[in-house]
Every structure is written in C-alpha cells, then in structure tokens.
Amino acid sequence: MKAAGFHQRVRTRPGADFKYLHIPVDANNSPERFLRFNARLRDASRLTAVLAQSAPLVEGPTPDFRRDLHQVRLNLVSLFVQGGFAAITQKAQAVVPAERLQEATGLYLNILRDALAEVYLDLLREEGVNLEQGVGEQENAFFNDALSALAVLPTYGSPFYLQLTRFQQVEASGLQVTRSGATGVVYLGFAFLVIGVFIMFYTSHRRVWAWLAVEADGARLIVAGAANRHAAEFAHEFAQLQIDLARRLGATQPEPSQDFRFGFKSRSG
C-alpha cells in the first residue's frame, strides 16, 4: 500500500531533467508529520534521547556493547539523513572486507530501519496515535514512503519545501473590458492597406523608357512603353507621343509598332 502524498519536482537549469520527490501525507492530508519526522532525525539531542530510551532493551553481553551499538545507531541515522542509503553502502564498503560486504550492508540497513522506526513511534505517540494494537496499515505505509523520501532528499537539490496554504478562486467573467494602445495607428494603417489594394488592382500602370545613343554621324533615340491594362487606350496615347516627338525633333515619323516601340535618328551637320 502506498500512502497519498505531494509530488514535488525541481531542476537546476532549463532543459535539464527533473528530480522528483514524493512526500507522504498524514491523516489530515498534510505533510506536517513528514516534516516533523525529518526535523527530529536532524535534531541530534532529540535523536539521542529517543534512541537512549530503547537502549536498555537491547540485548547484549555487556553494557559496553550496548553503548557501542547505541553509538552505531546514531552514526547510521546521521549518515542516512546526509546521504541516503548510498551513504550507508559506502560506509560498509570502507570498513568491511569484500567477502562480508553483503552481510554487513544488510546488517547496517536493519539497524538503521530499527532506529528510524523508534523515532517514528515516538512521533506517533506525541501525536496521540494509539499503538496498543500495533502500528496500523496506514501508519506503516506512511513510514515506508517516508524512508523513500528521506533517501531522496540529499540528492533532491532544493534546500526548502514550498507549500500552498490557501488560495482565492476568482471566477472568469463573461464580460471583459480591455484597452488597446495605439488603436488609431492600427486603423490608419489598415486604411492605407485597403487603399493600396484598390490602387494595385484598379489603377493602370503605364511605363515609358527612352534610350539615347550617340553615333558617329548623329544620335539615335529609342522609346518603348508598357501598360498592364487598357492596351487600346495606351496604344493611342503611345502613337500620339510618337507624333509629338517626331515633330519636336524634326525627324521623319517612323512606321507605328505593335509592341510599343519606335526610334528616331538625327544626323549631325
């Protein structure tokens, strides 16, 4: 059984992978129990006092053995809150021969779990939870999820926890009043756009080119024109231009051209 909880995620930079954290909730759907459990594990004096209560109940051949076991439990809890289960494994690898590493690691984890359970039971008693019939299924699921969360905390990356405590719901309104700046400029630009479209489609574009070439015995003038519509009207105007230029230059009028081109040649002397 997995307890309900809050899911948190964090990343160190945009585009990086998220690191996830599942915080179990108590009977009030609050993370307060987990936060108190975590704080109690990091309170050295409170942790020592809680584990000292169960020290006389630990079976051992001598008081020195029980004292040493008590210190081992404190050290394992401290390693766990600082580095998770990986820190316990590294500790075992550093002090235990390779042939006994698996056995020693399992022993360390069992001692650690018992110590954490003692702190958790002390927390439940403080909350007023009845433990005469043992730990219930919900409390046991919370403990297992809390261990998983505590093991992730050292590598989670965020030093604090943000919790939403209240919010005010604001219903969306069907009527919205907005103000847009520079609306006059937008409307003026749209008007120019419409005028430009009409000019482009309904205005005849007429172009005339002239090329003057200086030759050895005089000069030559070549004139060409083009229109995108109303070809007959432009042909009449172009022919009139040809007559006017011939009269102005005193040149012989050339034969009219169907492709709106004509030329004059003026001899020097």
Q: What is the pLDDT of residues 180-202, one digit of tens each?
A: 778 888 899 999 999 998 887 77
Residue with the bigger pLDDT between 55 and 24: it is 24
* pLDDT tens string 195-234: 998 887 777 778 888 888 887 777 778 888 888 777 788 8
Q: For residue 94, is pLDDT > 80?
A: yes
Query: Residues 156-167: what's their mean pLDDT?
Result: 80
Q: How far apart are CA 57 and CA 53, in angstroms?
A: 8
Cβ(92)–Cβ(101) below 8 Å:
yes
| Alpha-carbon dihedral angle through residues 112, 113, 116, 117, given to the nearest 10 degrees | -150
Query: Residues 241-268: what's their mean pLDDT?
Result: 67
What is the rounded average pLDDT for all residues in the chain?
Answer: 82
Query: Residues 228-247: what's their mean pLDDT?
Result: 82
Which pLDDT band holds residue 98 (cuts at 50, 70, 90)? confident
Q: Which pair of structure tokens corresponds to residue 254? A: 């050339």
Q: Looking at residue 127, what is its pLDDT?
A: 85
Query: Residues 7-34: what's their mean pLDDT?
Result: 87
Q: Looking at residue 61, what is its pLDDT?
A: 60
For the purposes of burial, counting CB atoms within 10 Å of the CB of 215, is it exposed (0-12), middle (13-18) or buried (19 or more)? exposed
**pTM of the predicted model, to two decimals?**
0.57
Pairing of strands 206-215, 19-24: unpaired
Which pLDDT band holds residue 258 (cuts at 50, 70, 90)? low
Cβ(176)–Cβ(191) below 8 Å:
no
Choose from 83-92, 222-231, 240-249 the range with maximum mean pLDDT: 83-92
Q: For residue 68, is pLDDT > 90?
A: no
